[in-house]
Chain A
Amino acid sequence: MHWSRDELGDITIRRCFYVSEFAQEREQQDARFKKMDQFILDLKQEKFNGSYDLAYKVINHLRKLISQTRWAHAKELMGVIRKEGKQLVAAQPSEYVIGNMVRRVLKIVREEYVRLLGKSEEFANTESLHKMLTSAETEDEKYMKSLKELKTTVMEAVSEYIDEMDASIHNIAAQAIEHIHSNEVILTIGKSRTVEAFLKQAAKKRKFHVIVVEGAPLYHGHELAASLAAHNIETTIITDSAVFAMMSRVNKVIIGTHSVLANGGLKAVSGAHIVAQAAYQHAVPLIVLGAMFKLCLLHYSDIGGSEATFNRLASPHRVLDYYKAGSQDLCNVQVYCPTFDYVPPELVTLFISNIGGNAPSYMYRLLSEMYHPNDHEL
């Protein structure tokens, strides 16, 4: 084919236009990927300040993902979230909050889809004998309908959930007055922001005594004790080894936790199991404070198929400093500094979260309300 000069010029201009548009979109996509990559890098380097901070960042990241990616229907959206979730969890497997947030968002998507279709809530709910006998629709047919309002409703629901999370410490602290009475002796271990807020709230109306276990080798207990003393709460610091000796004088043990497992057990700060066992021995009630986002679908045994992701080993320098450990006498000695402890559910009396107090045996119910069993595996 022969092209005249004018036509050639035209085609070249058009080509340039297409190329620049394409490049623009590529740039935008690249910027998005960079942000997500940056987030994953942050996760790997543990650049977060406690589980609440991490949960907040993850859910905001997911919210951005929902608004920025293109998806046709709920199933596709869940696929996108799931894929991103897998990457996030792989970046930091010992932090269960990441997985919790991803599954919570998936459950929100399912709920909103069902609500928009006008069916009852129970339809989207978990497996049950009843469902096995009454429903005839197979799983694959669901979630494929394209709904215009799905995006806005999902974003609204996620924002609502973020607000709920924001208020969680406040809601837990508001229940303090029912649990702490005058002249009681409370024991706690390590430093938990929830426990701190809880005790400070109770101190506004009651006078009580707090014993803080220092929590070697990180000694977070010292910070908590200083903070409580500044609020005019009578505080005593004891070493970890003195827990059993002091337990007979304690009325209640109140601890925070890193996460709550599916059977009602805890993944708490190292030393918590000792405190729990001593409390059980003296028939002292153990109260655990934790917001709902700390509740995981995982059981103690099924953590990625290996125990490696349950505990995080901190630097052993705090246990035995490098200079001493490197000496001739100690060079064959192995030093560990685990950060977490497993506390079995039989030792826990009450679990206080932002939705109220529950027994550990009730965890299964809360789990079924928060996550969908099909999301157990991302």
Chain B
Amino acid sequence: MNDEEIAGYFEDKLKDDDLSSAIAAIETLLECLQRDAAETLSGLIHNLKQAKEVLVTTDCLATTSVSSGSDLFLRFITLASLELDDFKEVKEILISRGKLFLQKVSTCRTKITHLGMPFIKDGCVILTHSYSRVVACVLKCAAESKKRFSVYVTESCPDKSGNFMAQLLQEYDIPVTVILDAASGYILDKVDVVLIGAEGVVENGGIINKIGSYQLALCANALNKPVYVLAESFKFVRFFPLNQQDLPNQFKYKASTLKKGANLSIEHPSVDYTPPSLISLLITDLGVLTPSAVSDELIKLYL
């Protein structure tokens, strides 16, 4: 598969709104694996790494999760290297394992919904930021189980994805109000719990999410409101930022912006980093974790 085919396949998968960008990337890599013409394992790995580069430089909603999801898939390939002579057999096994991995990863959202449900209590007021599929899923389940709650969504400039989230929640019959990003401090008094998604979860338990999350978490902490992050485990990334400047440019800006060579000092970043001290709990498919448990999980995988 050459670069254009990969990008094309990926963009095709992204058109399905319900699919997380990372899962679309993993499906693309699986397709690459199936169509690959390499004769050796290292050739295969080399081709997949190149495919990953193409994916990371394609425009999508969440570059961070694409990067972490692809890394996990490639890691899975290298862990599964078997000592068989026939390369075709090895490839068959890799493909079946890839399909199994994809299957497991697709069930993440249901597990998170199950774990996150008890945190939404009857009569509570929830504040969420921008558009997150996981948060929408959890809220949908809570509404279906007849819990009464109301939601405030920040508009989340510059792409105003908060409006899209509000539209989605209205379809589920949830009373929702869109507020300005600047009004989050004003509204926090009335709010019981802050629920946000994440594009990436970093090594110390902090998160990378749509710009404005850091601000929201700071205000919530100042007013003693709990902040719960809902994230799938394939978003865990081996990365340890110490401040906002440590985030790499490919996470902050769209791939097309970087390619154009625009002046980054006047471009607006699309994500920011929220340190773990501001997060109460991370609800993932591996369980409800405190931020300190995240590094433990990453160590278990990579060492």
Contacts and interface: CB of A to CB of B under 8 A. Distances in A.
Given A130-B300, A365-B296, A301 B286 contact: no
A263 interface: yes
Given A127-B285, A129-B233, A129-B236, A361 B292 contact: yes
Given A133-B301, A136-B100, A364 B290 contact: yes
A120 B173 CA distance: 49
Contacts of A373: 287
Contacts of B119: 299, 301-302
Interface in A115-138: 126-130, 132-134, 136
Interface centre among A130, A132, A136 (most CB of B within 10 A): A132
B71 to A, nearest CB: 11
B300 A299 contact: no
A127 B297 CA distance: 9
B97 interface: yes
Given A128-B286, A301-B118, A302-B118, A362 B292 contact: yes
A264 interface: yes
A263 to B, nearest CB: 6
A128 B118 contact: no
Contacts of B285: 127
Nearest to B291: A361
Contacts of B288: 262, 299
Interface string A341-378: 00000000000000000000111110000000100100
Given A134-B79, A299-B288, A363-B290, A128 B297 contact: yes
A129 B121 CA distance: 30
Contacts of A134: 79-80
A365 B293 contact: yes
Main secondary structure of the interface of B (DSSP, over half): helix
Given A136-B100, A301-B119, A129 B297 contact: yes
Contact of A305 (B105, B118, B296): B118
A133 B290 contact: no
B104 interface: yes
B138 to A, nearest CB: 13
A365 B293 CA distance: 7
Interface residues of B, number: 32
Interface in B197-223: none
Contacts of B75: 133
A28 B8 CA distance: 72
B76 interface: yes
B104 A128 contact: no
Interface residues of A, number: 26
Contacts of A133: 72, 75-76, 79-80, 101, 301
A342 to B, nearest CB: 12
Nearest to B281: A263
A129 B300 contact: yes
Nearest to A301: B119
A76 B76 CA distance: 34
A132 B301 CA distance: 9
Contacts of A302: 118-119
A19 to B, nearest CB: 50
Nearest to B285: A127
Nearest to B277: A346
B141 interface: no
A130 B301 contact: yes
B236 A126 contact: no
Interface string A292-324: 000000010111011100000000000000000
A299 B289 CA distance: 11
A127 B286 CA distance: 6
Contact of A299 (B79, B281, B296, B301): B281
A126 B233 CA distance: 14
B286 A129 contact: yes
B60 interface: no
Given A301-B121, A302-B119, A132 B104 contact: yes
B68 to A, nearest CB: 11
A263 B233 CA distance: 19
Given A136-B97, A301-B118, A129 B292 contact: no
B95 interface: no
Interface in B265-294: 280-281, 285-290, 292-293
Contacts of A299: 118-119, 281, 288
A306 B147 CA distance: 12
A364 B286 contact: no
B287 A127 contact: yes
A361 B280 CA distance: 11
A361 B276 CA distance: 12
5 contacts: A133-B101, A133-B301, A134-B79, A306-B122, A362-B292
Given A126-B286, A299-B119, 18 more contacts: A126-B287, A127-B285, A129-B72, A129-B297, A129-B301, A132-B104, A132-B105, A134-B79, A136-B100, A263-B280, A263-B290, A301-B226, A302-B118, A302-B119, A307-B121, A364-B289, A364-B292, A364-B293
Q: What are the 4 closest A-B residue pairs judged by CB atoms, nearest first?
A: A302-B118, A129-B301, A364-B293, A361-B292
Interface of A: 126-130, 132-134, 136, 262-264, 299, 301-303, 305-307, 361-365, 373, 376
